[in-house]
Every structure is written in C-alpha cells, then in structure tokens.
Amino acid sequence: MGSRAFIERPGLATGAPGVQAKAMAASFCGCGAGAAMNDLQTLVLNADFRPLSRFPLSSWHWKDAVSALVLQRVNLVAEYDDVIRSPSRAMRVPSVVALKRYLHLDGYPAFTRFNIYCRDRWRCQYCATDFPPSELTFDHVVPRSRGGRTTWENVVTACSRCNLVKANRTPREAGMSLLRRPYRPSRLELAHAAAPLAREQVHHTWVDFLYWDSELEE
C-alpha cells in the first residue's frame, strides 16, 4: 500500500475540531501586506525537530499553523518578518513550528512519480544517463499488458528513447538490462537523494531543519 501523505493539519491530527482556534486564526489578517503573504507556508517539524515528511514537504498554510499554536499543539520555532494582526493582538507569521507530541511515522515514502525519479537519482535505468525531470518517463519493467503492476518493485525511471525502444517487452525480450532491480526505498534514503534539489527554494529559517541529516554525513 505504501504510506499516504500525512500532513495532518490542526484539528485533524487529534480528531478535535478546533473550531474556536480556526475562528481565532481566521481573525488574523496580513493587513497592508502584499498578496504574497497569503501564500506563506509554515514548515512543520516532528517533536524531534525533523520534518514530518519531505515529499511533499510537511508544511501548512500559516493560518493552520496559527490555529495549532492557539491550540498549543505545536511550539513556535521560527518566524517570518511579516506581521499579522487580529482585533486583539499582533504576531509575526510562524515560519517553522514543531509538534509537541512526537508523531510515529512508518518508514516508507509515498509511491509518486517524483519519488520514483528520486530513488533512481534522475537516471534512466536502462541507458544509465542522467536527464532533467521533464525528459524522464517511467517504465513498467514487466509491461502492464503482461500483468505487470504499478508498484515500487516494477516501475523504474526511463528516458523517452529507452521507453520507446523497450515498448511492450520485458527487458530480456528487448535485450536491455536494468542498472539495478527496483525496490521500495526508505524515507531516509529519499531524503538524502533529494536534499540538494530543494536547497534553493526554501526560506532561510527552514534550512537548518531540512539539511541537518545530510550535513552530518559530509
């Protein structure tokens, strides 16, 4: 089955509706701020200060993060410079929060196109060439028409050319060999594989929490 994306939002995480907190969070606005503030996301860490997930990266809209703060389900870790105001108070938009209660996660990432490419390091598993994501496809090792399933163990990254050449055949029939047998990777493995990719795209307050694993390895 793999795991589902588990970005639990306040109110869903514990089953409590948190209606009052949502109403309170909704009363905050970024009055006078640019429209970009409406898009601000808050990075959500587990109680051990590691992201809940990387793919997709565990983040909430800032209003959800404010709800969780009001409900005291998370601790504030870092803030944006942008200020939000409600009728009774003002605060900076949370940029990073951490759950107060440790959430146990299973060890396997979601089965997605991005994660397949990530497992295979953006490399065609037939010709061993690296490609940008836009030039990659995924291939069923045993074709679907022959009973092959769409699973971690039967889907690999392939370039368009190899995919076309292989067509509706098994690798053996096509005379092509795989770089390695496909398998289900762990979250940690994908985290290491993808870390360099997103480095440029995150707010500076997120960086420490996203990359401390990989830095330890260097």
Interface residues with Zn ion (CB under 5 A) are 124, 126-127, 159, 162
Shortest distance (Å) from residue 214 CB to Zn ion: 28
Interatomic CA distance for residues 59 and 115, integer angstroms: 18
CB neighbour list of residue 168: distance below 8 Å, 6 or more residues apart: 143, 145, 146
Interatomic CA distance for residues 125 and 22, integer angstroms: 47
Shortest distance (Å) from residue 162 CB to Zn ion: 3
Q: Nearest CA to 57 among 218, 203, 182? A: 203
* CB nearer Zn ion, residue 122 or residue 209: 122
Which amino acid is present at 30? Answer: G
Burial of 183 (0-12, 13-18, 19+ CB in 10 A): exposed
Helix (H) or strand (E) holding 192: helix 187-198
* CB nearer Zn ion, residue 14 or residue 177: 177
* CB nearer Zn ion, residue 26 or residue 128: 128
Helix (H) or strand (E) holding 188: helix 187-198
Shortest distance (Å) from residue 128 CB to Zn ion: 8
* CB nearer Zn ion, residue 28 or residue 122: 122
* CB nearer Zn ion, residue 53 or residue 163: 163
* CB nearer Zn ion, residue 64 or residue 120: 120
Shortest distance (Å) from residue 145 CB to Zn ion: 21
Q: In terms of C-beta distances under 8 Å and separation of at least 24 residues, what long-range contacts does 12-19 make, across chains too?
A: 13/73, 13/99, 13/103, 14/73, 16/71, 18/67, 18/71
Interatomic CA distance for residues 120 and 158, integer angstroms: 9
Shortest distance (Å) from residue 157 CB to Zn ion: 9
Shortest distance (Å) from residue 158 CB to Zn ion: 6
Q: Is the peptide bond before 185 cis (omega within 30 degrees of 0)?
A: no
